Every structure is written in C-alpha cells, then in structure tokens.
Amino acid sequence: MINQPTQITVTCGRCGHKRSTDDGFSDRVPLRERHVVVRTLLAVNEGWQCDEDGDLCPACAAPDTTANR
Ligand SMILES: [Zn+2]
C-alpha cells in the first residue's frame, strides 16, 4: 500500500488546538518537509506563529488584546 495519508496536523503548543490540512503534496515530498510547508502556510494564511519553540494557533499567537489574564 503506497497510499499514505497526506494530511498534516499542526497542534498549538499552548491550547492544544489542532489544525489539519491536506494540500495535496506530491508523494515525493518527504513528510518532514510537508510539515514545514504546512506550518509556513498556516503562518502566512491563518496567523499561526510557528517557530523553533513550537506552534501557536492564531488565538494564542495574537497580541494580548483580551486583557484576560
Ligand atoms: Zn492556541
């Protein structure tokens, strides 16, 4: 079976929010690279903050505008 799932899940390191995406990668793109690409896409398109420390969803990455802590 060569039918690997191409869906990549990025998890927020703070609230645990999961974002799954399937961008139809070529089978030749290694899983590791797919994850990098997905994180970049989420950062650019959805406001995720993805760096070496981990991934933050838009709500957690956003500036503290709620003044709720
Ligand atoms: Zn979050």
Average pLDDT along the chain:
84
CA–centroid distance, 65 to ligand 1, in Å, is: 15
Band of the pLDDT at 7, cuts 50, 70, 90?
Answer: confident
CA–centroid distance, 20 to ligand 1, in Å, is: 14
CA–centroid distance, 62 to ligand 1, in Å, is: 9
**Confidence at residue 46, expressed as pLDDT on a 0 to 100 scale:** 94
CA–centroid distance, 39 to ligand 1, in Å, is: 14
Taking the C-alpha atoms of residue 7 and residue 46, their distance in angstroms, rounded to an integer, is 17
CA–centroid distance, 57 to ligand 1, in Å, is: 4
Taking the C-alpha atoms of residue 10 and residue 2, their distance in angstroms, rounded to an integer, is 23
Please determine, for residue 6, whether its predicted confidence score (pLDDT) is greater than 60.
yes
Band of the pLDDT at 18, cuts 50, 70, 90?
Answer: very high
Band of the pLDDT at 34, cuts 50, 70, 90?
Answer: confident
